[in-house]
Amino acid sequence: MDLRFEQDLSDVDFGGVCPAVRPVLVAGQVRNIAGMLRLQLEADTTLSCVCDRCAATFDKPFHLSLEYLLAEELEGEENDDILLLDNGTIDLAELVREAFILNMDTKTLCREDCKGLCPGCGANLNEEACRCKKEIDPRLAALAKLLE
């Protein structure tokens, strides 16, 4: 059985940012392999991210690949790869939503070496130099006064 649907995850909030501004495209299939039901899903979208360091917004592709076995009941120990069916059904929207949250990067950077904002003057150090005045060494302050 082929599966294909669009899911709205625009309400999923990561610290005040909801990156899934575009629909998430989900495609996959359930296959019966020797009496075992195997579910495979691929989810794709383009996220709208905010850099944790410099607050720039940027787009980033998001891809998720999921694979589970479906079972009516568990025999033996817990297994993360096995999904239990509930009355022969499974909530794919809930599954994709949980996987999306679990697979989101904990840190979002516009680029690996983002220099961020200066905590003193707020300059975006990727684009401009810091405008903070250099602190005068207290040992030289008296000398600086003489020069004024």
Shortest Cβ distance from residue 21 to Zn ion (Å)? 19
DSSP 3-state helix, strand, coil percentages of the chain (rounded to 5)?
A: 15, 35, 50
CA dist 143 and 147 (Å) reads 6
Nearer to Zn ion, 6 or 120 (CB): 120
CA dihedral 7, 10, 14, 17 (to 10 degrees): 150
Pattern 60-89, binding to Zn ion, x per CB under 5 A?
Answer: ------------------------------
Sign of CA dihedral 54, 57, 59, 65: positive
- Binding segment toward Zn ion, per CB under 5 A, in 4-12, 25-33, 40-48, 102-110: 102-110
| Contact flag: residue 118 with Zn ion (CB under 5 A) | yes
- Binding segment toward Zn ion, per CB under 5 A, in 36-44, 61-69, 76-84, 131-139: 131-139
| Contact flag: residue 117 with Zn ion (CB under 5 A) | no
| Contact yes or no for 26/96 (Cβ under 8 A) | yes
| Contact flag: residue 125 with Zn ion (CB under 5 A) | no
Which residues on neighbouring strands pair with residue 25, listed in sequence order?
A: 6, 44
| Contact flag: residue 105 with Zn ion (CB under 5 A) | no
| Contact flag: residue 51 with Zn ion (CB under 5 A) | yes
